[in-house]
Amino acid sequence: MRRGLGGRLGGWVLAFSILGVPSLVCAVMPPWVYEKARNEALYHIQVRVLSVNGPAKTPGECAITSEVVRIFRDKPGKLKQAVKVAFTISCQKPGDQPIVGGTLWTDYESLLNAQYLEVFLNSNGRGYEVALWQSKIIEKPTDEPLMK
């Protein structure tokens, strides 16, 4: 028998939301779902951040313009170093009302100050999109991926 609010997990998410537990608890997708997104992504790259344009209100989507510095996977064979790529990253500020769901939020201020990112991307016909929020702010480019 199914329970409301997503069964037992939904009840926990509701309880944590009421108690004010950080929004990380609201990531309700199992870890293997995110791992699958990383494994199936067309691109796994590290980029230098050229610009970050935040949303009018957070939580929301931060528009990133970047330049490729490392390529770990390029299934279509289209990317080269120094190519510009644009995509969005879901961002939020401390104190934003948590949104229940599988979104993995990136701290808005940290993203504004980021110099490099490691990211898994797919093509969406108009450009690039992050595969199930699989991105990470990194200190500098590395020879080996930091995300697996």
The predicted structure's pLDDT at residue 28:
64
Q: At 29, which CATH number?
A: 2.40.50
96 located within any domain: yes
2 located within any domain: no
Tally of domains in the chain: 1
58 located within any domain: yes
Helix (H, G, I), strand (E, B) or coil at 18: helix
The predicted structure's pLDDT at residue 26:
52
CB 43 within 8 A of CB 124: no
148 located within any domain: no
147 located within any domain: no
Helix (H, G, I), strand (E, B) or coil at 29: coil
Query: What residue numbers bound the domain in which 33 lies?
Result: 22-138
Neighbours of 133 (CB within 10 A): 18
The predicted structure's pLDDT at residue 125:
85
The predicted structure's pLDDT at residue 147:
96
144 located within any domain: no
pLDDT tens, residue order, the chain (148 aa): 333 344 434 433 433 333 344 444 454 699 999 999 999 999 999 999 999 999 999 999 999 999 999 999 999 999 999 999 999 999 999 999 978 889 999 999 999 999 999 999 999 888 999 999 999 999 999 999 999 9
Strands 60-74 and 43-53, how do they pair? Answer: antiparallel
Cα separation values, 84 from 2, 25, 29, 50, 66, Å:
47, 34, 31, 9, 5
Intra-chain end-to-end CA distance of the chain, in Å: 37
88 located within any domain: yes
Token pair for 51: 């610009």
69 located within any domain: yes
